A and B are shown apart, each in its own frame.
Chain A
């Protein structure tokens, strides 16, 4: 073959012609959405038929006052809304404490101090190898009377220590995920230990830590339902109380589950938007 020199095409004149509407792709997407809708429809139908066979008396028209009532032009929030607010408060406070515990434990495990490592490891093993329900009873029946804390805070602290153990491993993993060269870069310009973590290591581990940590906050919201066994007034307790009053078990459990779902999905979407803006900032 003889050699040749081809005419150069500048980048701005290379036209891409496959960016139009792709009918085949659209049809495939449509089919898949259709399949999902069909599955949900079948499940819904089975539940409805089952309830009918039990002669369950659906009373959806009665649910409005569970959320709010308007008396003399004034809105009064119903038990489910008040329960949801308590759940968010419980999970919010426990989340913050869990992250603090997580950082402290992670650094203790990574430190060169033997006592720090022993204490951190003991805490992790103890929390992970005992049932959450037993931990809750320990906090409520043993520690609460000793330290004089009420049931709400017993619940908060129990959840904090439980989730804190998972936060610790997530944070430790994030810190270990930062390249060794970054420590040396910080050392070489004479940063002290605190500055090195503050300016170099932690900022770079956050993108590794944040996604699993949100997963943790979402499971914290779900796990918070367990404090209903010590009668902390949150969403699940509100649901239980309403059922005792109205016997509308099916409607109320669907509502309660739907409310947890709404909160956790909103949180996931919010976080993925946040992550996207983080990446754009790069």
Chain B
């Protein structure tokens, strides 16, 4: 089971973020321990993406603290790359590099950030490509693959950095329905191996199966945190009830 006494891997306290005058996030507090899986959900525009993007400083926060693996991250820090290699990120739109082969997509990070040799990086890349079941496509270019395959490559690309925590921002919402299962399977396998994960998703099946906690956000705040069964069957807040009824379509 989870070791709650240890120091959290990701710790967010009193974090606020504004876009100009617009308050995108307000007083966010969240701790994620090693091996924990957190699913984040909430209506569009509620700040889910913004929150997880602050963790690896793709977005800068203005107030409060965020620490990853004990090190505080801040907008003006010098070696942000050292934090980012501990934090894998998978985007809704994959963001693979279309001008490089799949293999080169995977070896670039380890070679440039971690100083791994090309031979070792290639071994690493092939290992993870096998795990996401696309080793045969290593020499192809991203646009030649289906959306589901591209997303699995993107997951493998993050794993090649040997991250301590993986962030997913709606990894299946740009995919055709028949592609979703393949990506979710890979994520479930990853969870079963004990990876720490923060996943923004509306896939309730995935949340029920994998999540230790569900975090519900609305209008830039965390409204409710609960275990998945409890959250889906018996949401406490009005806003979560409204959200879930809309999600289920009645």
Q: Establish whether residues B113 and A203, one from each chain, have CB atoms under 8 Å apart when the complex forms.
A: no
With both chains docked as a complex, state the minimum distance between the C-beta of B38 and any C-beta of chain A, in angstroms: 19
- Residues of A165-223 whose CB lies within 8 A of B: 181-182, 184-192, 195, 199-200, 203-204
Q: Establish whether residues B95 and A191, one from each chain, have CB atoms under 8 Å apart when the complex forms.
A: no
Asked if A11 is an interface residue, CB under 8 A from chain B, the answer is no
User: Which residues of A are found within 8 Å of B58, using beta-carbon distances?
Assistant: 184, 187-188
Q: Which of B84, B93, B98 contacts A188 (CB 8 A)?
A: B84
With both chains docked as a complex, state the minimum distance between the C-beta of B149 and any C-beta of chain A, in angstroms: 16
With both chains docked as a complex, state the minimum distance between the C-beta of A179 and any C-beta of chain B, in angstroms: 8
Q: Establish whether residues B84 and A190, one from each chain, have CB atoms under 8 Å apart when the complex forms.
A: yes
Q: Establish whether residues A282 and B95, one from each chain, have CB atoms under 8 Å apart when the complex forms.
A: no
Given contacts A181-B91, A282-B141, contact A188 B56 (CB under 8 A): yes
Interface mask (A210-242 → B, CB under 8 Å = 1, otherwise 0): 000000000000000000000000000000000
- The binding surface of chain A is classed by DSSP as helix
Asked if B189 is an interface residue, CB under 8 A from chain A, the answer is no
Asked if B88 is an interface residue, CB under 8 A from chain A, the answer is yes
Q: Establish whether residues A192 and B81, one from each chain, have CB atoms under 8 Å apart when the complex forms.
A: yes
Q: Establish whether residues A190 and B113, one from each chain, have CB atoms under 8 Å apart when the complex forms.
A: yes
User: Complex Cα distance A176/B87, Å?
Assistant: 27
With both chains docked as a complex, state the minimum distance between the C-beta of B241 and any C-beta of chain A, in angstroms: 34
Q: Which of A182, A191, A282 contacts B81 (CB 8 A)?
A: A191
With both chains docked as a complex, state the minimum distance between the C-beta of B202 and any C-beta of chain A, in angstroms: 21
With both chains docked as a complex, state the minimum distance between the C-beta of A72 and any C-beta of chain B, in angstroms: 57
Residue among A187, A195, A200, A203 having the largest count of chain B Cβ atoms under 10 Å: A187
Interface mask (B15-40 → A, CB under 8 Å = 1, otherwise 0): 00000000000000000000000000
With both chains docked as a complex, state the minimum distance between the C-beta of A204 and any C-beta of chain B, in angstroms: 5
With both chains docked as a complex, state the minimum distance between the C-beta of B190 and any C-beta of chain A, in angstroms: 16
Q: Establish whether residues B113 and A181, one from each chain, have CB atoms under 8 Å apart when the complex forms.
A: no
User: Which residues of A are found within 8 Å of B12, using beta-carbon distances?
Assistant: none
User: Complex Cα distance A147/B18, Å?
Assistant: 52
Asked if B250 is an interface residue, CB under 8 A from chain A, the answer is no
- Residues of B102-119 whose CB lies within 8 A of A: 108-109, 112-113
Count A interface residues, CB 8 Å: 17
Q: Which of B97, B98, B141, B161 contacts A190 (CB 8 A)?
A: B161
With both chains docked as a complex, state the minimum distance between the C-beta of A203 and any C-beta of chain B, in angstroms: 5
Asked if B152 is an interface residue, CB under 8 A from chain A, the answer is no
User: Complex Cα distance A191/B100, Å?
Assistant: 15
With both chains docked as a complex, state the minimum distance between the C-beta of A159 and any C-beta of chain B, in angstroms: 32
A192 to B, closest residue via Cβ: B81
With both chains docked as a complex, state the minimum distance between the C-beta of B153 and any C-beta of chain A, in angstroms: 11
Q: Establish whether residues A189 and B56, one from each chain, have CB atoms under 8 Å apart when the complex forms.
A: no
User: Complex Cα distance A255/B156, Å?
Assistant: 62
Q: Establish whether residues A184 and B108, one from each chain, have CB atoms under 8 Å apart when the complex forms.
A: no
User: Complex Cα distance A190/B113, Å?
Assistant: 6
User: Complex Cα distance A184/B93, Å?
Assistant: 11
Q: Which of A187, A189, A282 contacts B108 (CB 8 A)?
A: A189
A198 to B, closest residue via Cβ: B112
Given contacts A190-B81, A190-B109, contact A181 B97 (CB under 8 A): no
Q: Establish whether residues B158 and A191, one from each chain, have CB atoms under 8 Å apart when the complex forms.
A: no
User: Complex Cα distance A190/B108, Å?
Assistant: 10
Q: Establish whether residues A188 and B95, one from each chain, have CB atoms under 8 Å apart when the complex forms.
A: yes
Residue among B93, B95, B100 having the largest count of chain A Cβ atoms under 10 Å: B95
User: Complex Cα distance A187/B55, Å?
Assistant: 12
Q: Establish whether residues A185 and B97, one from each chain, have CB atoms under 8 Å apart when the complex forms.
A: yes
Q: Establish whether residues A188 and B112, one from each chain, have CB atoms under 8 Å apart when the complex forms.
A: no
B90 to A, closest residue via Cβ: A188
Q: Establish whether residues A203 and B108, one from each chain, have CB atoms under 8 Å apart when the complex forms.
A: no
User: Which residues of A are found within 8 Å of B93, using beta-carbon distances?
Assistant: 181
Given contacts A187-B84, A199-B108, contact A204 B91 (CB under 8 A): no
- Residues of A220-279 whose CB lies within 8 A of B: none
Q: Establish whether residues A203 and B158, one from each chain, have CB atoms under 8 Å apart when the complex forms.
A: no
6 chain-A/chain-B pairs, Cβ below 8 angstroms: A187-B56, A188-B84, A189-B158, A190-B82, A190-B84, A204-B99
**Nearest 8 CB-CB pairings of A with B:** A189-B109, A185-B95, A190-B85, A190-B113, A188-B89, A190-B84, A181-B95, A190-B81
19 new A-B pairs (CB below 8 Å) besides A181-B95, A188-B88, A189-B158? A181-B91, A182-B95, A184-B58, A185-B95, A188-B58, A189-B84, A189-B85, A189-B157, A190-B82, A190-B109, A190-B112, A190-B113, A191-B113, A192-B112, A192-B113, A199-B100, A204-B97, A204-B98, A282-B141
Q: A interface vs B, CB < 8 Å?
A: 181-182, 184-192, 195, 199-200, 203-204, 282
Q: B interface vs A, CB < 8 Å?
A: 56, 58, 81-82, 84-85, 87-89, 91, 93, 95-100, 108-109, 112-113, 141, 157-158, 160-161
